[in-house]
Structure 1
């Protein structure tokens, strides 16, 4: 199963994902990729280190999918691009996927739609039981990961933005759903549709 701390500092980053999707579609050789990220600073980051880290995370996420999805990220409306990046993030992170399938789904089923950092902490504790190989994370790492996950759910519209975050269904765009069905991303679809 191998749960990894692979979403820290990673909200969906849709703006940056559009740029990285464009670079992937251009099939740049490594030297040109480095030129774009580190020299031309296409992601407009204040340090090369940040640019490299974000580009690497986004590239790894998007490479879970195929070029037709990269086109949705690059060229789609804001909702299409956001949902396409969300699908990529789920495919990339078993932690995010399982949080949705094992925990968020239960919240929807029970009708108790509040979702906070404490729910994330109890999910991570349960992960240790399921995956004995999982690294032990400090409380601050666990919270940082949880903040990233809650931000992702807020960005895609599954969690309301405000003082008392509440889970809500998402209206997904047909282009994104059709891509995931055609490419047989069943687990990703299941995670995205935990409210059904």
Structure 2
């Protein structure tokens, strides 16, 4: 059975760099499933208030990072803030075509047209276009669509493409050479296209 191109799995959280560094560390250590569960639920390495929240957020971050390889995980764990956040961003794009296509089709167009901002209404228009492209896309309630928008716009603030979460002003971002080298060496053409929308 065909899978929908667009899913709501990005709604579980923004890039969460400090926590993603911890998850990348566990992946690099090659922990067993039991060791993973112990670290997340017993040691509470993410410092969450409930085991359920810790499990849910760690699962999202793990699924994101596992779309890439150990070289990128090392950038996340050990890199500078800029390199690490861009490495997590690259993994998030590969993990979620809902995020990737928004960058490629909407954010890129705003930069190309020299428009100064990214109004929230563009997200609603984008979701309508997604449904036209993908008949299998789930029909989401308004609350879910708004939550997804919150998450995507927060990610764009974290990476620097949006400088002000109130006015949604756009800013060009230069992706670090380390991240770009990894993406080129691993032939991540979709991610390369989506991550460089301000060029």
Deviation above 4 Å: which 4+ runs of structure 1? Answer: none
CA RMSD of aligned residues (A): 1.0
Counterpart secondary structure, 1:7: helix
**Corresponding residue for residue 149 of structure 1:** 152
Q: Does 1:166 align with 2:166?
A: no
Which one of 9, 15, 32 corresponds to residue 29 of structure 1?
32
Deviation at 1:162, TM superposition (A): 4.5
TM-score (structure 1 length as normaliser): 0.97
**Corresponding residue for residue 187 of structure 1:** 190
Q: Does 1:120 align with 2:123?
A: yes
Which one of 88, 91, 107 corresponds to residue 91 of structure 2?
88
Cα deviation digits, residues 127-158 of structure 1 (max 9, x gap): 11110111100111001000100000110001
In structure 2, C-alpha distance between the alignment counterparts of 1:148 and 1:163, rounded to whole Å: 14
In structure 1, C-alpha distance between the alignment counterparts of 2:67 and 2:164, rounded to whole Å: 28
In structure 2, C-alpha distance between the alignment counterparts of 1:146 and 1:162, rounded to whole Å: 12
In structure 2, C-alpha distance between the alignment counterparts of 1:38 and 1:113, rounded to whole Å: 44
Gaps of 5+ in 2: none
TM-score (structure 2 length as normaliser): 0.96
Q: Does 1:97 align with 2:113?
A: no
In structure 1, C-alpha distance between the alignment counterparts of 2:57 and 2:197, rounded to whole Å: 28
Gaps of 5+ in 1: none
Deviation at 1:161, TM superposition (A): 2.0
**Corresponding residue for residue 41 of structure 1:** 44
Counterpart secondary structure, 2:9: coil
In structure 2, C-alpha distance between the alignment counterparts of 1:187 and 1:162, rounded to whole Å: 27
Deviation at 1:163, TM superposition (A): 3.1
Deviation at 1:105, TM superposition (A): 1.0
Cα deviation digits, residues 6-33 of structure 1 (max 9, x gap): 1113110100000000000111111110
Which one of 135, 138, 142 corresponds to residue 138 of structure 2?
135
**Equivalent residue pairs, number:** 196
Q: Does 1:175 align with 2:175?
A: no
